[in-house]
Structure 1
Amino acid sequence: MAFTNSQGRTQSSLSDINVTPFVDVVLVLLIMFMVTAPVLQSGIDVAVPKTKTVKEITEERLVISIDKQQRVYFGNEPVNIHDIPQKIREKIRDPRGQAIFLRADESVPFGAFATVMDAVKQSGVSNVSIVTQPLSEKNGSTR
């Protein structure tokens, strides 16, 4: 917007946007998300087995967990084992192309693990990754 001053000269108003408050707000939001992200991920206490080879998780997938008391969780919500195929079909559009993480406590009997695995397979998902933790140096090697 231009205007004329008292001496007859044309001047324009300053129309710069001040981004400092915007940057302040973005930094505060970033810090809040950094603090809350680890809390959101560790919802259910499961001591997964330890193995020598562990693949690093790079993408976010659906997670089914089995805790020590053999309770089954879909994400962070408790679920009946018979409802797992239906819940997976509701969340996933293409079950054949999608992968699911399965976390089970190391004290869970294999029969309970196999039953949950079968329920996942009934939904049409063929790529199931079993979540493990890496062995630490003091526990893993006996050289």
Structure 2
Amino acid sequence: MGAGVMKKAEGGSRRRRGAKGRHGVMAEINVTPMVDVMLVLLIIFMVAAPMMTVGVPLELPKTAAKAVPTEQEEPLTISLQRDGTVSLMNTPVEEAELVEKLRAVSQERTSDKVYLRADGGIEYAHVVQVMGALNAGGFTNIVLVTDTGGPQLTGKAPTGTTAGGN
């Protein structure tokens, strides 16, 4: 920092302090801290991503259907719980207000796709009524959400049963 004292070296030459001192200028970027931060962020996002889905707990029916491709816009999700509660995303909604809220939401969205999650214990008639409300609210592209790994219908009667039934 300031001026240094120059000493006379043994051979009569002077030792200079300056840009070419004992250590040259470090021209490399140390990427180790940046890699550490990126790995921590990657782990955080890997843990947090499954938690970002709609948090209404349901026991979805299992089917052999394949997964639907993801979209760029956050998916609009309607959930039907076993006790009859209807939720728009994570917010419970009265069935009488559902069509009005869906119309308001459809004005703000570019996609007419809506994901319908219904508990496996709900009556089919109630699911169809909510699908009608979705249609009336402006959503014509309804995706029924299920869990994978369910039974596959192969067209063959299971062993020990008849195809006709009683």
Short-chain TM bin: 0.7 to 0.9
Structure with max Cα Rg: 2
Which secondary structure state, in structure 2, belongs to the residue aligned with residue 46 of structure 1? coil
Which secondary structure state, in structure 1, belongs to the residue aligned with residue 57 of structure 2? coil
- 1:30 paired residue among 42, 48, 53: 42
Provide the residue aligned with 1:56 in structure 2: 67
Aligned Cα RMSD in Å? 3.1
Which secondary structure state, in structure 1, belongs to the residue aligned with residue 142 of structure 2? strand
CA–CA separation in structure 2 for the residues paired with 1:25 and 1:8: 36
Provide the residue aligned with 2:109 in structure 1: 93
Which secondary structure state, in structure 1, belongs to the residue aligned with residue 41 of structure 2? helix
CA–CA separation in structure 1 for the residues paired with 2:153 and 2:37: 46
CA–CA separation in structure 1 for the residues paired with 2:50 and 2:94: 27
Amino acid at match of 2:56: I
> What is the CA distance between 1:8 and its match in structure 2?
8.1
Alignment length (residue pairs): 135
TM-score normalised by L of structure 1? 0.73
Amino acid at match of 2:30: N
The reply to whether residue 113 of structure 1 matches residue 113 of structure 2 is no
- 2:58 paired residue among 40, 46, 67: 46
Distance 1:117 1:25, change over 3 A: same
Q: Which runs of 5+ in 2 are unaligned?
A: 1-15, 160-166
TM-score normalised by L of structure 2? 0.64
Which secondary structure state, in structure 2, belongs to the residue aligned with residue 17 of structure 1? coil
Paired-residue identity, %:
34
CA–CA separation in structure 2 for the residues paired with 1:36 and 1:29: 10
Amino acid at match of 1:55: K
Provide the residue aligned with 1:3 in structure 2: none
Q: Deviations over 1:11-70 (max 9, x none)?
A: 984354322212211111111121122233362221222334x13132152111101101
Which secondary structure state, in structure 2, belongs to the residue aligned with residue 65 of structure 1? strand
